[in-house]
């Protein structure tokens, strides 16, 4: 909780964490913030340790975490966020406070046989 009636969320993804565990942790932080501080503006700060690779400095899993998962799943539920890949951004839309009960992370779809 901040002095301006906003909530700051901070997540550190460790080098040994998987995409799924990081996604669950991000979602759990959102749920906890909404439960404890309903509808307060949320700013989310993300740090990632390890997971270096060829895609803008990240391995494929955590490039996708920041590029796809973040914008499709997390960004809607915050007012602002800061990630290592994109830096700080303000959500141009109002923060969505209707956080779903559960997060379901689907793996890659199997390729169809030709």
Residue 67 within any structural domain of the chain:
yes
Residue 109 is predicted with a pLDDT of 46
Q: Which domain holds residue 48?
A: 7-90
For the chain, percent of residues with pLDDT exceeding 70: 88
Residue 103 within any structural domain of the chain:
no
Count of structural domains within the chain:
1
Residue 13 within any structural domain of the chain:
yes
What is the signed CA dihedral for 87, 93, 98, 100, rounded to 10 degrees?
-50
For the chain, percent of residues with pLDDT exceeding 90: 66
Residue 111 within any structural domain of the chain:
no
> pTM for this structure?
0.83
Residue 109 within any structural domain of the chain:
no
Is the confidence at residue 78, as pLDDT, over 70? yes
Residue 81 within any structural domain of the chain:
yes
Residue 100 within any structural domain of the chain:
no
**In Å, what is the CA distance from 101 to each residue of 21, 34, 54, 88?**
17, 11, 35, 27
Residue 108 within any structural domain of the chain:
no
Residue 80 is predicted with a pLDDT of 96
Largest interatomic CA distance in the chain: 59
Is the confidence at residue 56, as pLDDT, over 90? no
């Amino acid at each position: 909780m901040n002095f301006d009636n906003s909530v700051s969320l901070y997540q550190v993804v460790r080098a040994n964490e998987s995409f799924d565990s990081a996604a669950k942790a991000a979602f759990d932080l959102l749920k906890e913030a909404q439960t404890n501080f309903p509808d307060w503006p949320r700013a989310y700060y993300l740090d990632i340790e390890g997971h270096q690779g060829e895609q803008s400095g990240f391995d494929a899993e955590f490039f996708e975490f920041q590029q796809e998962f973040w914008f499709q799943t997390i960004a809607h539920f915050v007012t602002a966020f800061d990630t290592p890949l994109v830096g700080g951004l303000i959500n141009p839309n109002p923060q969505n406070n209707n956080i779903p009960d559960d997060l379901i992370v689907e793996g890659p779809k199997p390729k169809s046989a030709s």
